[in-house]
C-alpha cells in the first residue's frame, strides 16, 4: 500500500454526507422542476433521476463521491465506484457510462495513490459493464473520489422508492455496520477479518440484485447508504405513503459490528441519522441500544432495501442468497399508513 488514506479523515465514505435534515432545509425553497418526460425527480428524494427518452428507453442519472472509507487507495476506488453505481441498480437499471470525480492533494499524497484510486474505480466499472469516459479533477485536501453515472431502464420498469404497497415484504440484501467497523479500524479495535469482511461487502455490486428485482417484477426499492437503514426506510415509506414495521433481530449485521458498537465505536453520523428519524419512529420497549444505533449507522455501498409482494418474497430471497447475496434476510413488512401510527415501527 502506497499511502494510508484513513490518516486523512475523521469520517469518510457516506458518513460524511450532509445531515438529512439540513439537506431537506436547503432544498425546500428551490423551484419544482417539471417536464412530461421526467419520470423521477427530486420530490421523493429517490436514488437517481430518470428521464424518458423514448417509449422503450429511459435515462438514469446519478452522482456520488466522498472522502476515503478505507486505507488502501485501490480498494477506496473500488468501493466509491460500487457505491455510485448502486443508485442505478436501486432504480432497476443497467449502468452505461461513468465519469470520474476527483479531489486530490497533489503535494501531500504520492500521485501513485491517485493512479490506484482510479484503477480501482475503473476495474469496478468494468465489472459492472460500464464505460469510464472521462472526469474532472481538483487539487484539494482531504482526497475525495466518486463517479457520475448514467444508466438505462425501460420507462415501464423503473423501480422507485414510491412504489411500496401494504402487505409487501421487506428484504435487505447486505448486512449493516460498515460505519461502525471502519470506526473500529481507526481506533484499532476492529479485528482484521471483520474489517476485511466489511470491505468485501462494500465492494460487492448490487448489479445482480437489480436484475433479480426486474425478474421478480419489484416496484419499490432503495439502497442503504449515508442515512442508515432507518433513514432510507423512512424516505421510502413517506414517498410511498405507507408505514413499515422492521424486526430488528432479523437485520443482518457485519461480523464484529455489534461488539464494536458495545465498545462505543459509534460514528457521529449515526447520531445525526437517529435525530432525523426518531420523531417518526416507534421503538419497541427494551430495544437493544447498540442494535438501535446500528440501524442508524451510515452505510457506504450498502445493500438493497426491497419491498416485494408477499407471494414473491420467498422465491426472491432464495435467489438472492444463491446468486451473490448470502446475508439477505426478510426484515419487515409494509402496512397501510395510519394517523395514530408511526411511519416506522422498530421491534
Q: Any catalytic annotation for residue 265?
A: no
Catalytic residue among 14, 70, 125, 265: 14
Question: Residues 223, 90: contact at Cβ < 8 Å?
Answer: yes
Residue written as grid cell 416485494: 308
User: Taking Cα atoms as reference points, which of 288, 304, 261 lies closest to residue 346?
Assistant: 288
268 exposure class (CB count in 10 Å sphere: 0-12, 13-18, 19+): middle
208 exposure class (CB count in 10 Å sphere: 0-12, 13-18, 19+): middle
The DSSP 8-state label assigned to residue 11 in this structure reads: S
Kindly report the number of other CB atoms within 10 A of residue 10's CB atom. 13
Rounded to whole angstroms, how far apart are CA atoms 132 and 120?
12
Rounded to whole angstroms, how far apart are CA atoms 191 and 303?
22
Rounded to whole angstroms, how far apart are CA atoms 240 and 263?
37
| H or E element at residue 287 | none
Residues contacting residue 178 through CB under 8 Å, at least 6 positions apart: 13, 69, 198, 201, 202, 254, 297, 298, 299, 300, 301, 302
Question: Residues 342, 243: contact at Cβ < 8 Å?
Answer: yes
In total, the chain counts a number of residues equal to: 347
Residue written as grid cell 457521529: 268
Q: Which residues are catalytic?
A: 14
Amino acid at each position: 500500500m502506497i499511502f494510508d488514506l484513513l490518516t486523512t479523515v475523521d469520517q469518510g465514505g457516506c458518513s460524511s454526507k450532509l445531515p438529512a435534515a439540513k439537506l431537506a432545509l436547503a432544498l425546500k425553497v428551490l423551484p419544482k422542476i417539471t417536464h412530461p418526460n421526467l419520470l423521477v425527480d427530486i420530490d421523493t428524494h429517490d436514488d437517481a433521476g430518470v428521464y424518458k427518452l423514448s417509449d422503450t428507453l429511459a435515462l438514469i442519472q446519478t452522482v456520488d463521491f466522498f472522502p476515503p472509507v478505507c486505507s488502501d487507495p485501490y480498494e477506496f476506488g473500488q468501493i466509491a465506484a460500487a457505491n455510485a453505481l448502486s443508485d442505478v441498480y436501486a432504480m432497476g437499471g443497467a449502468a452505461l457510462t461513468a465519469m470520474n470525480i476527483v479531489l486530490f492533494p497533489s503535494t501531500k499524497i504520492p500521485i501513485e495513490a491517485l493512479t490506484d484510486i482510479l484503477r480501482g474505480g475503473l476495474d469496478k466499472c468494468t465489472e459492472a459493464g460500464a464505460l469510464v469516459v472521462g472526469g474532472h479533477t481538483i487539487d484539494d485536501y482531504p482526497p475525495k473520489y466518486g463517479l457520475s453515472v448514467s444508466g438505462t431502464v425501460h420507462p415501464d420498469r423503473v423501480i422507485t422508492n414510491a412504489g411500496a404497497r401494504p402487505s409487501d415484504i421487506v428484504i435487505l440484501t447486505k448486512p449493516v455496520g460498515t460505519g461502525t467497523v471502519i470506526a473500529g479500524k481507526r481506533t484499532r479495535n476492529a479485528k482484521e477479518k471483520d474489517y476485511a469482511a466489511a470491505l468485501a461487502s462494500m465492494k460487492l455490486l448490487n448489479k445482480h440484485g437489480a436484475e433479480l428485482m426486474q425478474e421478480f417484477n419489484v416496484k419499490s426499492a432503495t439502497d442503504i447508504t449515508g442515512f442508515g437503514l432507518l433513514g432510507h426506510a423512512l424516505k421510502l415509506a413517506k414517498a410511498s405513503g405507507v408505514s413499515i414495521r422492521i424486526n430488528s433481530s432479523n437485520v443482518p449485521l457485519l461480523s464484529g459490528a455489534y461488539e464494536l458498537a458495545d465498545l462505543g465505536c459509534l460514528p457521529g453520523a449515526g447520531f445525526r441519522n437517529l435525530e432525523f428519524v426518531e420523531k417518526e419512529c416507534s421503538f419497541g420497549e427494551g430495544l437493544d441500544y447498540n442494535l438501535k444505533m446500528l440501524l442508524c449507522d451510515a452505510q457506504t455501498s450498502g445493500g438493497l432495501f426491497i419491498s416485494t409482494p408477499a407471494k414473491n418474497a420467498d422465491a426472491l430471497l432464495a435467489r438472492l442468497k444463491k446468486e451473490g447475496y448470502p446475508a439477505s434476510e426478510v426484515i419487515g413488512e409494509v402496512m397501510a399508513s395510519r394517523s395514530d401510527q408511526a411511519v416506522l415501527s422498530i421491534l
